[in-house]
Amino acid sequence: MSDKKNEDYTIRMPDSGMRSPFGGEKDPFIPPRPARTASHPGVNSQIAKIENSPAISILAYCLSSISMTVVNKYVVSGSDWNLNFFYLAVQSIVCIVTIEVCKQLGLIKNLAPFDINKGKRWFPISLLLVGMIYTSTKSLQFLSVPVYTIFKNLTIIVIAYGEVLWFGGSVTPLALLSFGLMVLSSVVAAWSDTRHASQTAEAAAALATLNAGYAWMGLNVFCTASYVLGMRKVIKNMNFKDWDTMFYNNFLTIPVLIVCSLIAEDWSSDNLAKNFPPESRNALFVGMIYSGMAAIFISYCSAWCIRVTSSTTYSMVGALNKLPIAVSGLVFFSAPVTVGSVSAIFIGFVSGIVYAWAKVRQSQVAKNSLPTTQPTMSASSQSNRDANS
């Protein structure tokens, strides 16, 4: 759940002995290539081509990210849906089961056993994660996918200035330009959405839905920033390896989500029937299970993409991926296609490219300069996966 790809923010482990995807070593989730036997040279050659294909790795990363957002939107978009805590608990349980299966199969090699002392220290971060993912599903429930994707960019701004206040970070002029474009795209998206809603037959209800979505989105921006910045503050002392963060986040949030669901959500047979109507029940269950597994898929595809391309290419792909995610909302959920909505998507797309380029430039400058102090590691840089994410 820490890698839920409707959430764009995942901290890379700094100074903890972790083999970073941006370093020279491969992600241990990707198993070493087995020795090819001479009996099937044609098949082995094709597999090797796929494993080392930049195009296929980028496509896999984009498809896994897009599918996660689309599936999340499908599950929570029912007219009577109100079991968000239950949905998130299922995601966490499926993710934990998948991690354990991968560990038993040897795909994840460095996942340490659960340490109760580390669990106690990490629990407050998991509570912040619950706030982040709950407000994310609520905002996605009320807003269209394009508007949701555009507004998620605002989280980058809050994180960046949080770093300036608490970690001595800095904002370059190019990054500041991207922030301005992000704000502009959000204003245009909100204006287009409210204008379209006011022209519908049930304008009052449509506007009320949008206002609820904007409120949840605002909460999500600050919850996400709190989670990312809080994680950065704590994670240096945890000595977590590659998959420990995902494991602890999911494992610790399961009881919290189950208790919240039992207390705050209606478990009557009538409400369950409304949330899981017979005609779509099986599809909803499949979507809920897939969303839990998608966190693993996205992590694998991210490491694969970085291994066969570069961290710079990966950053740009994450920025460019915003466009197909937004377009998927227009295709799969009949989001209104207006001049305003298309303009907002385009401006948000450009802002993502400018931001990714700003981070690349900042990294190049840092590499070319002689450090006189321990460099400050940016939480937004570490966490910027799909906006990220």
Give the bridge partners for 384, in sequence order.
Answer: 9
Q: Poorest-confidence range of 163-172, 258-267, 313-322, 353-362?
A: 313-322
Phi and psi dihedrals of 194, rounded to 5? Answer: -65, -35
State pLDDT tens for residues 365-374: 777 765 554 4
Q: Is 224 exposed, middle or buried (0-12, 13-18, 19+ CB in 10 A)?
A: buried
Task: Using pLDDT thresholds of 50, 70 and 90, give the confidence band for residue 41.
Answer: low
Percentage of the chain beyond pLDDT 70 is: 82
Across the range 29-34, mean pLDDT stands at 48
Residue 191: both structure tokens together: 């204006």
Across the range 111-132, mean pLDDT stands at 91
Across the range 98-110, mean pLDDT stands at 86
Position 387 scores a pLDDT of 39
Relative orientation angle of helices 116-142 and 54-76, to the nearest 10 degrees: 70
Position 176 scores a pLDDT of 92
**Token pair 């478990």: residue:** 267
Q: What is the largest CA-CA distance in the chain?
A: 69
